[in-house]
Amino acid sequence: MNLKILRWLLAHKDILLQVVEVVKPWRKDLPLIAHWEIVDKVARLVIPVLTDEEIVSLLSADDSGDVQSLSAADVEVQAMGIDWMTLVKLIIPLLEAILRAMADKDG
């Protein structure tokens, strides 16, 4: 898990809450086009607020070994009423993929 992306999401709570709402219908058995529509909606929420520097920073070496930061983030996420597994298994990987696509846009 990319703790930097998690921290970015927590710093942009309004976007995080919107993303959570967008991904709620996600199920593995949805058709590919439905998955793609969800990805598109998430990208439209996060891309306008990301700078090129943030994209590079969020994709740089992961600091997921920081247990205290992870525990604090877990408490904050729970306080917001967000399902931790959805965040870890769907939202963060989805955002990481969007960031990678943005980083590769020039090359």
- Enter the tokens of residue 91: 């939202």
What pLDDT shows up at residue 94? 96
What pLDDT shows up at residue 106? 57
Task: Tell me if 99 sits within 8 A of 42, measured CB to CB.
Answer: no
Per-residue pLDDT of the chain (107 residues; tens, 9 = 90+): 688 999 999 999 999 999 999 999 999 999 999 999 999 999 999 999 999 899 988 988 766 556 677 888 889 999 999 999 999 999 999 999 999 999 887 55
What pLDDT shows up at residue 36? 96
Burial call 74-83: b when 16+ CB within 10 Å, e when fewer: eeebeeeebe
> CB within 8 A of 2, min separation 6: which ones?
58, 62, 64, 92, 96
What pLDDT shows up at residue 27? 95
Q: What is the CA radius of gyration of the chain?
A: 14
Report the alpha-carbon distance of residue 41 to residue 19 in Å, rounded: 8
